[in-house]
């Protein structure tokens, strides 16, 4: 598994070559850039050029996370508002346009993929959300493809973006070049699913691995205290209840090793020295 770290851990700060260097020092051979204008301003030519120059001068791979916020008005308490499958057509168009603005950075930065969220926290799974998901993916895939980027659908804590429903969306849409990003924290928040007969229940993490199978391209690696806590804490691996031995076993069965991205909460307030030490400990926990 290729080791990666998301810039989400430094989200309150402007992304700079110095911060990217710190992530490399922490063991990252892939960096997922979290698209938020106050952090990485993908609409600013100078910011895009600076990022492109850094990636092109290193051997570090670049991936992107789609924007979740519409503009620079962000604080530590801002909730995601961009919704690609909103019931409001105007809101859907706004979200698609903002994601396309971020994707345009791939004209200079060698991004190879972009993680996509379908819906917000309380999104319902129905014919309307299915149709809007198909439309959003088709639209963004057509835009991202010529830029050399693959869309990766991430499992979330809503009814639409469960692993099973994401696989169904890709099947119905015949999206051959769309992959999946398994988020261990989101999967750990899902209730365990009983097996038939007397077999033990499978965790949400195991179910996600089995559902995505070999179409899994990327992992978001973080921890939390499970379904009882009902909070997406984005802790370092080992600080919650995810069974990391189980995760490691399932990674080993995949035909193509995925990229594992540590996606840690910025609220933890880690400084650069702590990121290095805790990332090294996290890789030991996962392996």
- Residue range 114-163, pLDDT digits in tens: 999 999 988 999 999 999 999 999 999 999 999 999 999 999 999 999 99
Cα–Cα distances in angstroms (integers) from residue 238 to residues 20, 211, 241, 276, 278, in the given order: 24, 24, 7, 16, 10
**Hey, what are 106's tokens?**
């791939």
Residue 236 scores a pLDDT above 90: yes
Q: State how far Cα 266 lies from the chain centre.
A: 15
Residue 195 scores a pLDDT above 90: no
The pLDDT of residue 161 is 98
What are the helix and strand counts (H, E) for the chain? 10, 8
pLDDT band at 277 (very low <50, low <70, confident <90, very high): very high
Which residues lie below 8 Å from residue 238, measured CB to CB, with a gap of 6+? 223, 244, 281, 282, 285
Q: What is the mean pLDDT of the chain?
A: 93
Residue 198 scores a pLDDT above 70: no
Mean pLDDT, rounded, for 89-98: 96
Which residues lie below 8 Å from residue 221, measured CB to CB, with a gap of 6+? 184, 237, 247, 260, 261, 262, 263, 282, 286
State what percent of residues in the chain have pLDDT above 70: 93
Mean pLDDT, rounded, for 257-273: 94
The pLDDT of residue 182 is 98
Cα 138 from Cα 223, distance rounded (Å): 32
Q: What is the pTM of this model?
A: 0.95
pLDDT digits (tens, 9 = 90+) for 39-76: 999 999 999 999 999 999 999 999 999 999 877 666 66
Q: State how far Cα 270 lies from the chain centre.
A: 20
Residue 196 scores a pLDDT above 90: no
Residue 27 scores a pLDDT above 80: yes
Domain ranges of the chain: 2-286
Residue 192 scores a pLDDT above 60: no
More confident residue, 287 or 116: 116
Alpha helices in the chain, H assignment, sequence order = 17-25, 45-56, 89-103, 127-144, 163-173, 184-189, 204-212, 226-229, 244-253, 272-286
Q: Which CATH class is domain 2-286?
A: alpha beta
The pLDDT of residue 70 is 79
Mean pLDDT, rounded, for 100-113: 98
For the chain, the residue count is 287
- In b/e form, how buried is each residue of 173-187, taking b as 16+ CB within 10 angstroms? bebeebbbbbbbbbb
Mean pLDDT, rounded, for 6-35: 97
The pLDDT of residue 73 is 64
pLDDT band at 22 (very low <50, low <70, confident <90, very high): very high
């Amino acid at each position: 598994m290729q080791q990666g770290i998301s810039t989400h851990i430094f989200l309150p700060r402007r992304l700079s070559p110095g911060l990217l260097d710190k992530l490399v020092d922490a063991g990252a051979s892939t960096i997922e850039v979290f698209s938020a204008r106050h952090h990485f301003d993908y609409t600013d030519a100078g910011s895009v050029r600076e990022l492109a120059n850094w990636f092109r001068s290193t051997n570090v791979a670049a991936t992107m996370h789609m924007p979740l916020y519409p503009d620079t008005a962000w604080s530590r308490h801002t909730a995601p508002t961009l919704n690609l499958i909103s019931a409001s057509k105007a809101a859907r168009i706004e979200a698609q346009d903002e994601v396309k603005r971020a994707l345009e950075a791939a004209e200079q930065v060698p991004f190879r993929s972009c993680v996509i969220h379908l819906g917000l926290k309380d999104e319902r799974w129905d014919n309307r959300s299915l149709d809007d998901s198909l439309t959003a993916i088709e639209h963004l895939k057509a835009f991202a493809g010529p830029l050399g980027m693959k869309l990766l659908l991430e499992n979330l804590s809503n009814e639409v973006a469960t692993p099973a429903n994401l696989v169904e969306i890709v099947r119905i849409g015949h999206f051959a070049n769309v992959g999946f990003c398994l988020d261990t924290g989101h999967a750990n928040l899902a209730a365990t699913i009983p097996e038939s007969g007397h077999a033990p229940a499978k965790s949400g993490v195991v179910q996600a691995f089995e559902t995505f199978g070999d179409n899994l391209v990327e992992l978001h690696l973080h921890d939390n205290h499970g379904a009882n806590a009902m909070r997406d804490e984005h802790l370092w691996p080992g600080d919650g209840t995810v069974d990391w031995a189980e995760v490691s076993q399932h990674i080993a069965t995949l035909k193509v090793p995925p990229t594992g991205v540590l996606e840690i909460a910025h609220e933890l307030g880690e400084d650069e020295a702590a990121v290095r030490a805790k990332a090294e400990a996290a890789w030991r926990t996962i392996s």
